[in-house]
Structure 1
């Protein structure tokens, strides 16, 4: 049997993506939980010397890094189980477009909305709202982003349905609500109530405690920078 290891972090939406994909494909694997904020293991540094980050999938001793790359690798390597990407070249291109949109546009704006304060937070809330409108239109009329089954866009959008919802509740935001985005609300219900998704989400209380600690650290860093005359905002993002 092929040896499959996943170097990850229990609270990371990026790593959760990979676990969900492996479970959907029925691939057995060993999960190595990395303490990425304190001391990274020699194995992680060996397998991902460029970015030194999780997730890293190791298949028969060969490492694959970056979650979007790993998801495509899983889909192409294990044909068993549902396809994560469509076969049609145009549809595959659209999947790659929306996954990059989620990672490069949505996630930074939503992180900033949770972590910043004042005018910077207001700008991030407005940007997040505008980006969510695009996603609302994309999922409209479908059970999942790709149709009737969970696909790569759904898996990449996991942080919206779970991580961001927890984050906005903690800081008192009303950016993503079912009233404002009913189609996304329906998608979230479908996605989060799928058995394989439920079984692989981090515990809400544990994730909430981690976010609370990071939000407080970000607020302290902002206050310190302001007191020193540097303005500042943001801080480290939850991951």
Structure 2
């Protein structure tokens, strides 16, 4: 991330026709709204703050993403170590009801057979209603490390920092700050409409990126190749 918070604030003040800081003499509130916008972006488009990392699994089947995260995006593979390790067996997403039907006691650390707990994970399960937690199969016994991708909570930034979201979202951040600024003075003629316009630009910019990503993802080529094959 190379776009500075200051550069976004400068553009906001230019749009507000307040480059001298007469109306917005203090930028503290504007920076507060920059941070609000980053959290809104992560909420609307979780992969905007996607973080790829290796985690050490807890004993048992239930796992939780790092404290800085807000939701799991994907589990990739087993790893040989907590840091600097090499990739091992891949991990597949499965429906929990499948395992529940086949091995009802797979959560039990004393279970035997294919579900016996150990250091290697074969599958994981995820429930959107519980976005920070997930389950692994077999359950974990001993040291186990896996690579995951999760949506992180954006770091709180100050005026001297860079944005904590990718640079591509700089315009969205600016529009959100303008939305909040105009909303604060909604009693002034036309400001309520200006606020609504900037909020719509913000939502369109963030949510609309999903459509672009869907069209430009390498998985589109993968799907075409499968169809041809």
**TM-score in terms of structure 1 length:** 0.26
Identify the structure with bigger relative contact order (alpha carbons < 8 Å, sequence gap 6+).
Answer: 2
TM-score, normalised to structure 2, is 0.26
